[in-house]
Amino acid sequence: MIVNKSLLGNILSTLKKQMSEEPSSALILGSGLGEYADQLVSSVTVPTSSLPGYPRSSVHGHAGKIIIGHLPNDPQHRPLMVFKGRVHFYESGDLEKTLLPVHVASEMGARTLILTNAAGGINPRFRAGDLMVIEDYITIGTRGIRPPTDRSKDEEKLRTEKSAGKTDTKLIAHFKRSADAIGLPIQSGTYCWLLGPTYETPAEIEMLRRLGADAVGMSTVPELVRGSQLGMRVGGISLISNLAAGMSSEKLSHEEVTEAAKRVTVHFSNLMTTILTNLPQ
């Protein structure tokens, strides 16, 4: 396995001393979406700064907390593990650091992994504030960027598994049904992962549009791939926080992204709660 086993072991033993429940699902909250975790009840919160060797996020809006708790209206009272904030690949250049939370979630027992992010809208039908189910994804320029040093059999299998990296079609259908159930219009499309950290140029966005991308961002794909390789059901939802470069006259900024997240907090929260409380086993 690519991830550093002794680092993972230390983190898990520190976490398990404080968290006695086994989560059935895990949720990674992207830029500006962290507030969703605040409604959990009977919860335990561990700041990632207290976990030995856990990577820090330097990006505003990524708090660095791991929480296990329950949604107040979950009839089945299933424990949920929430990662408030993520560490982007561009922050360290080390994929292992970005993927650590996925391994933590899997080792803690989560069988479903839901990823969220803020993304730039490329599809001309999209508006800032839309939510988009990630149907599929495109990776450009980052595939195999850091060859693993440990070529164990396990790892070789992970890297060559044909079915690995697929988003779960049943989970995607559940996302859409959940949006329908609450009368929330939802987009769906292909997410393109670029390294970042700078936003794209209008020419790059035009290229991505022609390639079939509906939204662009700097995260999520590595976690989707690794989660599915570890046997979890994986799916993702993007908040279209802005129209991508060249699609509008607005200048892009991280503030715009977090502001957009604030505006759709209620929709996002209703959708996520509907998804999680009705999650098929």
By C-beta, is 109 or 246 nearer to ligand HPA? 246
What gap in Å lies between CA 80 and CA 123, rounded to an integer? Answer: 33
CB neighbour list of residue 132: distance below 8 Å, 6 or more residues apart: 119, 121, 126, 186, 187, 188, 189, 191, 214, 215, 237, 238, 239, 240
Helix (H) or strand (E) holding 18: helix 5-18
Residue nearest to ligand HPA (CB): 120
Count the residues of the shown chain that bind ligand HPA, applying the rule CB under 6 A. Answer: 13
By C-beta, is 99 or 216 nearer to ligand HPA? 216
Judged by CB under 6 A, the chain residues 108 through 127 that form the site for ligand HPA are: 118-120
Q: Does residue 20 have an active-site annotation?
A: no
CA angle, residues 265, 281, 115, in degrees to nearest 5: 35
Length in residues, the chain: 281
- Contact string (CB under 6 A) for ligand HPA, positions 221-260, x = contact: --------------------xx-x-------x----x---
3-state DSSP assignment of residue 14: helix
Q: Does residue 49 have an active-site annotation?
A: no
Q: Which of 57, 219, 228, 241 is catalytic?
A: 219
Write out the two tokens for 264: 């759709």
By C-beta, is 55 or 120 nearer to ligand HPA? 120
By C-beta, is 72 or 93 nearer to ligand HPA? 93
CB neighbour list of residue 70: distance below 8 Å, 6 or more residues apart: 40, 41, 42, 43, 77, 78, 79, 80
Q: Answer yes or no whether residue 61 interacts with ligand HPA by CB under 6 A.
A: no
Q: What is the DSSP-derived secondary structure letter of residue 73?
A: T
Q: Answer yes or no whether residue 187 interacts with ligand HPA by CB under 6 A.
A: no
DSSP sequence for 177-218: HHHHHTT---EEEEEEE---SSPPPHHHHHHHHHHT-SEEES
Q: Which of 19, 25, 26, 31 is catalytic?
A: 31
Q: Measured from the CB of residue 239, what is the shortest distance to ligand HPA in angstroms? A: 8
By C-beta, is 218 or 276 nearer to ligand HPA? 218
> Where does this chain bind ligand HPA (CB under 6 A)?
118-120, 199-200, 216-218, 241-242, 244, 252, 257
Give the catalytic positions in this structure: 31, 62, 88, 90-91, 118, 218-219, 242, 254
